[in-house]
Amino acid sequence: MQESKTYQHPRKRITRETTVRHISVILKTNFSTELVDALKPALQDIDDLERLKDLYLQAIHAHSIQAFAQKLIQ
C-alpha cells in the first residue's frame, strides 16, 4: 500500500526534525551545550535524510565537537 503524498511530506519533516533532535542529544551528552547549539542551525538546514542519518552515526563516534563540525561542513 502506497502512502498518499499528503502524508509523505509531514512524515519526512517529522523524521528529519526527530533525527536532528537525536543528533543534538547525543552531542550534548559528550560536549558543551553551547557548542552543540551553535551547530544546530546547520543541522536544521539539511533536507537530505540520508545525510542526517550519516551525521547521526558520526555524532555517536565523534571524538570532539570539532571533528563532528568538520563532517557537518563536508
Q: Decide if pLDDT at 29 tops 90.
A: yes
Sign of CA pseudo-dihedral 39, 72, 29, 18: positive
> Is 49 a domain residue?
yes
| Residue 4 in this model has a pLDDT that exceeds 90 | no
Rounded to an integer, the average pLDDT of 23-36 is 97
Average pLDDT, the chain: 92
- The pLDDT value given to residue 2: 57
Position 35 in a domain:
yes
Q: Is 2 exposed, middle or buried (0-12, 13-18, 19+ CB in 10 A)?
A: exposed
Q: Is residue 25 part of a domain?
A: yes
User: How many domains does the structure of the chain reveal?
Assistant: 1
How far apart CA 16 and CA 8 sit, in angstroms, is 12
Q: Is residue 2 part of a domain?
A: no
What pLDDT, on a 0 to 100 scale, did the predictor assign at position 9? 80
pLDDT above 80 (res 38): yes
Domain membership of residue 1 (yes or no) is no
Is residue 39 scored above 90 in pLDDT?
Answer: yes
Residue 3 lies in a domain: no
- 69: domain range? 8-73
